[in-house]
Amino acid sequence: MSAILHTPPAIEPVSLSQVKNHLKIETSADDDLILRLVSTARQYVERVSQHVLIEQVWRVYFNHWPEDNELALPVMPVSFIEALRTYSAQDDVSEIDPSHYYADLVSTPPKLVLRHSRSWMNSSRPANGIEIELTAGYGPLASDVPAPFCQAILFLTAHWYENRNASCAQSLQQNIGKEIQRLLQPYKVCRI
């Protein structure tokens, strides 16, 4: 299985002005640096929490259908399934009618479930023959993102801004890393 970002978020959950206010910065000399740090912090928080924050489009690929008729999605929260496609060995694409499955977007992880009396359309391409295009994230606006995620991004951005040399890398793990873990704990995905 592979998950590939197709359309990145249009905005970041934390704005430049929020970070500058948090850091008490009044000049614009480091604006580009701060924006890069915010983007990197968001990506870090998304990876650690396994949650996509701002609305974005992903394509998820599988080699074969699951035996239990439930296809777990590696991206969450999912708001919409754009398309479910299979590919032939010659790369011809076939779209699967949504009446054959339903999207269980409430479960963790979200999943596609084959409806009774239906069967999955076979893919003859041996690798990545099944493609799911989906929209994930809490919404298109920064205000849609739960506050703990935004606070974690602020903490990380401030830490990286104030500790730009390589010798400070360990302090992330020791100091701010624990605080970020506490903020993101309610969103942690538990595996059973």
Write down the domain spans for the chain. 14-51+142-187, 56-136
Helix (H/G/I), strand (E/B), else coil: 76: coil
Q: With cut-offs at 50, 70 and 90, classify the pLDDT of residue 122.
A: confident
Residue 126 has a pLDDT of 85
Whether the bond between 109 and the residue before it is cis, its omega within 30 degrees of 0, is yes
Q: Is the pLDDT of residue 165 over 80?
A: no
Residue 181 has a pLDDT of 81
Beta carbons within 10 angstroms of residue 156's beta carbon = 24
Q: What is the pLDDT of residues 60-83, one digit of tens each?
A: 999 988 888 899 999 999 999 999
Q: State the average pLDDT over residues 107-133.
A: 88
Residue 35 has a pLDDT of 97
Q: Is the pLDDT of residue 192 over 50?
A: no
Per-residue tokens: 160: 């990286």
Residues 6+ apart with CB under 8 A from 134: 57, 58, 59, 60, 73, 75, 78, 80, 81, 82
How far is it, in rounded angstroms, from Cα 107 to Cα 21?
A: 37
Residue 83 has a pLDDT of 96
The class (CATH top level) of 14-51+142-187 is: mainly alpha
Per-residue tokens: 45: 């928080």
Residue 177 has a pLDDT of 74
Question: What are the backbone angles phi and psi of residue 106, rounded to the nearest 5°?
Answer: -90, -35
Q: State the average pLDDT over residues 168-173.
A: 57
Average pLDDT of every residue of the chain: 89
Residue 166 has a pLDDT of 60
Per-residue tokens: 127: 């690798």
